[in-house]
Amino acid sequence: MDFLSLTSQIALSLLFLATILIIYSYFSSTKKVTTPPEPPGAWPLIGHLHLLDGLSPVARTLGAMADRHGPVFSLRLGSHRGLVVSSWEAIKECLTANDRVFATRPSIAVAKYLGYGGASFGLAPYGPYWRDVRKMVTVDLLTARHLDDFSHVRTAEVDGFVKDLHSMCGGGNGGESKMVVALSGRIELLTFNIILRMLVGKRFSFSKGDDDKNWRFQEAIKKVLYLGGVFVFSDAIPSLEWLDIGGYIKSMKQTFKQVDNVLEDWVQERIQTRKQKDAQTDSDFMDVMLSTIDKNEMMAGYTRETVIKATILMLIMTGSESTSETIIWAISLLLNNPHTMKTAQDEIDNNIGRDRFVQESDINNLTYLQAIFKETLRLYPPGPLSGPREALEDCHIGGYHVPRGTRLVLNLWKLHRDPNIWFNPDEFRPERFLNEKSQMNFKGQYFEFIPFSSGRRMCPGMTFGLQVIHLTLARLLQSFDFSMPNGETVDMGEGLGIALPKLKPLDVVLTPRLPKKLYQSI
């Protein structure tokens, strides 16, 4: 009898616990999911797309929305849901605890039509192919050691750049004078030639000249950069791709054909050259890739040649424009803050003098110059919205539920102008990186300041950009005094594009400030 009583008590206890678990499970499953706030005014079919009018940079538009709806909010982007994040705490949550969740790229037109069908590693979805190519880029191409091997390329190109500018000031005709120079175009060509020489051992001239094919390639690359920053309607509503609203897909196909024809010629030319010379040494990045990838190897269905072309194009796109735009923004900021420019020039004069040119080995001693670089990146990050990411699974950001497939937008432009982090955030003040923010670097550990992003999708070309920008900026400030024609201030209007370009080209008055014999020595 006692045994039966004990058994009954145990059974009743188990039944009670089971009932509690069922009730808990029911209420948990019916509990309302907390979703991020959403701006009002979404339209049928297109959602909030009409709020992104294209008249101002998207980063500014989304920043204004964050002021109204908070640092984590959602948007309906056609048939897709987007999550816009701009606080350092939420961005850190995205790129640390949820870094793998947001490691992939969405399927978009630029990847399909300009990125070799997803072969460009910067646009490729997360997976074995992306890991293999990114490893090749970061380990075999863009390491500090490999970049140091090309220091002579950077030095030679910057030497020629400074010499050409000096010649425009009359330096080659027996005298020197002030000269108005269209600086933007020349800086763009400088960074383009540096990355091109490192990639394929080629360089282009400033004018169209005799090599019409090279000139057309330069123009096609500019078109690629423009098309990479436009909004393609079918990215939001894929079923309407056949309409090609705006004609961007047609333009992408035409531009891609122009670029691919040149890249294909370069790859085949190099393959034949290596056969004839039985090349055992690698002279540039293309050689490294030809040595690294086996001749008959297929990577995720892509041939060796396709992988090489896609990688070269991606490195040109990311390494050329963003670098040149940062230099242009830095000079523009300095022109509007002449006292800051004078301080930087004094630092160079005191550390290097005026009897030799500044070299890469001098940069570590130019702390104020480095602070100018950081402050420029803060105000004008190379990728103001980082790159688009897509959630591989459900997760939570800032306490909000984020469903799988959500497209993540990190507004780095807004992050870098957050008044809770930065005192007078819209003010150009390099001194902040020598004082209260002196510990901050841009290598991805300080989530208040991540101009090159962070995590798995962090920009692999950071060191390259740092080297080129530091040397170019130092040489320009050492070699010339800058002023604006008619004494006006620089128009700081922002254009539309991937790298937040300056709206109006920068034309400046240059005056040589070093002994003439020094310019003539290069």
Q: Tell me: the pLDDT tens digits for 437-473?
A: 889 888 889 999 999 999 999 999 999 999 999 999 9
Place of tokens 């796109």: 317
Distance CA 290, CA 308 (A): 8
The whole-number average pLDDT for the span 279-296 is 86
Place of tokens 């309302």: 32
Give residue 211's pLDDT band: very low, low, confident or very high (50, 70, 90): low
Distance CA 313, CA 122 (A): 10
Three-state SS letters, 28-74: HHHCCCCCCCCCCCCECCCECHHHCCCCCCHHHHHHHHHHHHCCEEE
Asked if the model's pLDDT at residue 38 lies above 70, the reply is yes
Residue 121 belongs to domain spanning:
31-520
Asked if the model's pLDDT at residue 176 lies above 90, the reply is no
Query: Amino acid identity, residue 60?
Result: R
Are 100 and 455 a contacting pair, CB within 8 Å? no
Are 325 and 501 a contacting pair, CB within 8 Å? yes
The whole-number average pLDDT for the span 26-32 is 52
The reply to whether 351 falls in a domain is yes
- Residue 53's pLDDT is what? 76
The reply to whether 5 falls in a domain is no
From the centroid of its chain, how far is CA 464?
Answer: 12
Q: How many domains does the chain have?
A: 1
Give residue 15's pLDDT band: very low, low, confident or very high (50, 70, 90): low
Distance CA 421, CA 419 (A): 5
> Tell me: the pLDDT tens digits for 260-269?
999 999 999 9
List the structure tokens of 119: 């072969």
Please enumerate in sequence order all residues whose Cβ is within 8 A of that of 449, keeping only pairs 6 or more positions apart, or say none. Answer: 374, 378, 416, 437, 440, 441, 442
> CATH number, domain at 402?
1.10.630.10
> Tell me: the pLDDT tens digits for 129-154?
999 999 999 998 999 889 999 999 99
Are 409 and 85 a contacting pair, CB within 8 Å? yes
Residue 360 burial by CB count (10 A; 0-12/13-18/19+): exposed, middle or buried? Answer: middle
Question: Which uninterrupted H or E stretch holds 442?
Answer: none
The reply to whether 404 falls in a domain is yes
List the structure tokens of 440: 């901050």
The reply to whether 20 falls in a domain is no
Four-residue CA torsion sign, 271, 276, 278, 283: negative
Tally Cβ neighbours within 10 Å of residue 202: 14
The reply to whether 18 falls in a domain is no
Query: Which residues does the annotation place in the binding site for heme?
Result: 459
The reply to whether 19 falls in a domain is no
Are 391 and 404 a contacting pair, CB within 8 Å? yes
Query: Which residues does the annotation place in the binding site?
Result: 459
Tell me the Cα Rg of the chain.
27
Alpha-helix runs per DSSP H in 167-293: 183-200, 212-227, 233-236, 248-277, 285-292
Question: Which uninterrupted H or E stretch holds 158?
Answer: helix 151-166
Higher-confidence residue: 209 or 434?
Answer: 434
The reply to whether 77 falls in a domain is yes
The reply to whether 11 falls in a domain is no
Closest of 220, 202, 218, 203 to residue 164, by C-alpha: 203
Residue 215 burial by CB count (10 A; 0-12/13-18/19+): exposed, middle or buried? Answer: middle
- Residue 426's pLDDT is what? 97
β 407-410/80-85 pair status: parallel
